[in-house]
Structure 1
Amino acid sequence: MLWGGTAVSNRIAVDTLPPVFVGGVRFGLATLFMVAWCRLEGSPIVITRSQIRPVSILGLLLFLQISTFNWGLERSNSSHGTLFVNTFVFWVAGIEHFLLRTYRLRAVQLAGLMLAAGGVVLLLATTGDDAATQRDVPTLAGDLFLLVSGFLLSLKVVFTRSAVKQMDSGTLILWHDLIGTVLFFAYAATFEDFSGASAPPSVIAALLYAGLAVSGFCFAAQAWLLRHHSASQISVFSFATPVFGVAAGVMIRGDNLSSWLFLSGLCVAVGILLVNRRGNGGDSTPRKKNAEAEREENPQSASTS
C-alpha cells in the first residue's frame, strides 16, 4: 500500500523540482532513516573492504532506476508510472527462471507473464488517447522510461537477494542509499536547471513521504525479507501496488480512469498473482532444496528465521 503512493508523490515533486534532484532529496532522507534503523536493529554502520563492491553496484543501480523513473514521470502520469515500474515482478521471475535457475515457471505462471505483457502493450498502444481529459498527459517517451525503470528495479531486487547473503540487510540499504544520494546530487548539480525550482508545502510533504515511508521503511523491509525468502515470493504481494497506485493517481492527481487503463491495470495485477502462484506442483521440491542450501550458506539468516 505504501509503495503504491510512490509514483504520485514523485509526480507531485517533479512538478516544481528537477527530477534527479528529487531522487537525491528522497534518498538523502532515506539515508537518515536507515541510520536510525541500523541503530535500532543493531546493524553495523561501517562496511568492510569486501562489501564496497556490492554496495557500489546497488548504489549505481539505484541512481539509474530512480532517475529513469523520475524522467518518465515528468513525461507521463502517476497511474502509468505505477503500472510500468511494477513490471519488475515479471522481470524478476524471468531472471530467476531463465538465468539463475532458482525458480521454475510453470504453465500458469507463463500465462501470467503473457497476460501482463498484453496489459503493458495495451497501455503503450493507447498512450495519449485521453490526453485532453487529464492533468498529467502521458507520452510514449515517458512510458518507455518507466518501463526501463521497471527492468532496472528487477536487476536491483535480484542483486539485493544475493548481496544480503554477504552483509546485514540494514547496512546494505544504508550504503545503497548513501551512494545513490551522492550520485543524484552530483548529477543534479552538473546537469539540471534550478532556475524555476520551488518547494511548496505539497512538494515538501510528497518528498517526506517518498523519502521516509517508501525509500526508508519499504526498502529496508524488503531487504530484510529478501534474507529469508526468494525474490519471487516477496514479489507476490506487489499485486496490490498497482491497485493502490492507480487509485491514488485518480484521487490525488486526477488521472483519467479510462477503460484501457483499468483493463491494463487488471492484466498487470492478475499477472502478478499468476506469476507468483504457489501450489503442490513440480516447483515445490527445487524450492525446498534451495532453502536448505541457503541455510547452509547463511546460518545467520537461518537462526533469525
Structure 2
Amino acid sequence: MVSAPEALLSFENQPMGLGAVVFTLFLCFLWGGLSPAIKLSLTGMPPLAIAAWRFLIGLIALLIWCRVKEISLRLPRRFHPLLLGFGLVFVAQIGTLNIGTKYTTGSHSIVFLSTNPLWVALLAHCLIPNDRLHWRKSLGLMVAFAGVCVVFLDRGKTPGSEVLLGDALVLGSGVLLGVIQVYSKFLVRSINAFQVIVWELIYGTPLYFILSFIFERQLRVQLTSAVVAAVLYQGLVVAAFCFVTWTNLLRRYSASKMTAFHFTTPIFGVLLSRLILGENILPGLAAGVALVAIGIYVVSRPEGTNRQ
C-alpha cells in the first residue's frame, strides 16, 4: 500500500457526492486485496522477489503516466539524499510486509498493515505542529490497539509461534508505513507527490532485486497464472492505479473526509482473504477487525465540516 500525503494534496474541497463516495470505497476495496494478493503470490515466488517485480511494474506504469501528463521528475540535487533515505525505509517496510505475510494469514496481514493511520496520528502528535492528539483520537487509538491485541490472540489452526512472528513483522510494516506517510508530508512541501513516489521506487526497486539475489537465489520459483496475476495486481493496481487515482481525488475533495474511509480496508481485506484464500473468519478475528476499523474511523474522521 502506497499512500499519497493526504493532508497536503487537497485543493478544491468539493462536497463528496455519491459517485465520489462509491469510488473511494472501491479504492479501499482494492487496497484490501493487497495482502491476499501477496499471500497468493507467495505460493510461487519468494517475498523479496515479489516486491522487486511488483515495484518494477509499478515504476514503469508511473513513469508512463508522468510522461503522458507531462509531470516533471527533475529535482534539485539536495533532495536526493532525503529520497534515498526514504527509499531505504520503503524497502524495509515492504520487506517486512511480504516476509511477515509469508508466516501469517492474509486476514492478519491486512489488519496489521491497516493500522498505519494510528501510527501516523501518534507520530504527527510528536512531529507536526497543530496536529495533536485529543480525547477523541486518543479513545480511537485505544479501541484500535485493543483490536490489535485481540487479533494477535487469534491463532486459528496455524502454529502460534509462526503466526506471531508474521503478525509482528506486518505490524512493524504498518509502523514503517506510518513513518513514510509522515515523512511524505514534510517532503511534499517542496516537491510534488509523484516525484516522491517515483524517486522512492527508483532508489528502492534495485535494492529488492539485489537482496532477492543474495538471500533467495536458491529458492524455487513456480510461476502460475494465479501467481503472475497476483504480482500484476500488486504492481499495476495497488502501486500505480490506486496511487494515481487517490492523488487525483485528493485534489478535489477534503483529505480528512477521504481518509475516514480507510477503516473499510481491513474489513474488505478479511472478506477477500475468505473469498480468495479460503481463510476462516473466527469470532476473535471478527471482533478484532471490528475494533480496529472503529478505532481507525474515530482517529481519521473529520472533526468538523470545514476541517481540511
In the alignment, which residue of structure 2 is the partner of 1:39? Answer: 67
Aligned mates of 1:16, 1:147 — CA distance in 2: 24
Quick one: structure 1 residues 82 and 120, their matched pair in 2 at CA, closer, same or farther if it must change by over 3 Å? same
The answer as to whether partners of 1:28 and 1:181 remain within 8 angstroms in 2 is yes
Quick one: structure 1 residues 232 and 58, their matched pair in 2 at CA, closer, same or farther if it must change by over 3 Å? farther
CA shift at 1:145, angstroms?
0.3
CA shift at 1:175, angstroms?
1.4
The answer as to whether partners of 1:85 and 1:149 remain within 8 angstroms in 2 is yes
The answer as to whether partners of 1:73 and 1:81 remain within 8 angstroms in 2 is yes
1:112 to 127, 140, 143: 140
1:267 aligns with 2:294: no
Question: Percent of counterpart pairs with the same letter?
Answer: 32
Quick one: structure 1 residues 230 and 89, their matched pair in 2 at CA, closer, same or farther if it must change by over 3 Å? farther
CA shift at 1:278, angstroms?
2.5
Quick one: structure 1 residues 146 and 229, their matched pair in 2 at CA, closer, same or farther if it must change by over 3 Å? farther
Aligned mates of 2:99, 2:254 — CA distance in 1: 30
The answer as to whether partners of 1:82 and 1:242 remain within 8 angstroms in 2 is yes
Aligned mates of 1:226, 1:163 — CA distance in 2: 17
1:66 to 84, 94, 116: 94
Quick one: structure 1 residues 53 and 233, their matched pair in 2 at CA, closer, same or farther if it must change by over 3 Å? farther
Quick one: structure 1 residues 280 and 6, their matched pair in 2 at CA, closer, same or farther if it must change by over 3 Å? closer
* Deviation readout 1:34-62 (Å, 9 max, x if unpaired): 11121133211333312212321221121
- Where 2:33 maps in the other structure, the secondary structure is helix
Equivalent pairs, count: 279
1:4 aligns with 2:32: yes
1:186 aligns with 2:210: yes
CA shift at 1:234, angstroms?
5.3
Letter of the aligned partner of 1:50 in structure 2?
R
CA shift at 1:153, angstroms?
0.3
Quick one: structure 1 residues 34 and 102, their matched pair in 2 at CA, closer, same or farther if it must change by over 3 Å? farther
In the alignment, which residue of structure 2 is the partner of 1:79? Answer: 107
Q: Which structure is richer in relative contact order (CA contacts within 8 A, separation 6 or more)?
A: 2
Give unmatched runs, 5+ long, in structure 2: 1-28
Letter of the aligned partner of 1:153 in structure 2?
L
Quick one: structure 1 residues 81 and 140, their matched pair in 2 at CA, closer, same or farther if it must change by over 3 Å? same
1:130 to 147, 157, 166: 157
TM-score by length of 1: 0.84
TM-score by length of 2: 0.83
Quick one: structure 1 residues 5 and 71, their matched pair in 2 at CA, closer, same or farther if it must change by over 3 Å? same
Aligned mates of 2:162, 2:252 — CA distance in 1: 38
